[in-house]
Amino acid sequence: MLVLWDMAGGPPRITDTREGLLCLLATDKESLLLAQAGEVVVGSLIATWDGWRGSFYRLAVHPDRRRQGIATALLREGERRLRARGALRLTAIVADDDSAAMSFWRAAGYARQRNRARFIRLAESVA
């Protein structure tokens, strides 16, 4: 998984660790969707439900397997799962300087939210 994310591009994130993945799966074992070609993982999407909204993170497809419908299939399955859990609103965290990702989400029917900013703080900095 971590190798796929690295190959797919984008900046590494603080949670891109084996421990981070294990924590995700321990919290919500259904959140990680994988696309495989034989034994090889060629795509992934994290689709989480917090009881308030459904959120998508880390949509990634191996560079050699892009433009084959893998990302769309992962997204549609993520949407299906989140709707089944009760999600009425779905959000995607997307790097705004990644033009391919921005185009994908627009083509998939998502609109960029206006008048909102995302604030973050690393948990380790909270005293």
Contact 23, 7 (CB under 8 A): no
**For the chain, what are the domain ranges?**
2-125
Give residue-wise pLDDT tens across range 2-49.
777 777 776 677 777 888 888 888 888 889 999 999 988 899 999 999
Judging by DSSP bridges, how do beta strands 54-61 and 90-92 pair with one another?
parallel
pLDDT 10s digits, 65-91? 888 999 999 999 999 999 999 999 999
**Alpha-carbon span 3 to 5, nearest angstrom:** 5
- Where do the H-state alpha helices sit in 1-127? 2-8, 18-27, 70-84, 99-107
Residue 43's identity, in one-letter code, is: G
Give domain 2-125's CATH architecture.
3-Layer(aba) Sandwich (3.40)
**Global pTM value:** 0.85
> What per-residue confidence (pLDDT) applies to 46?
92
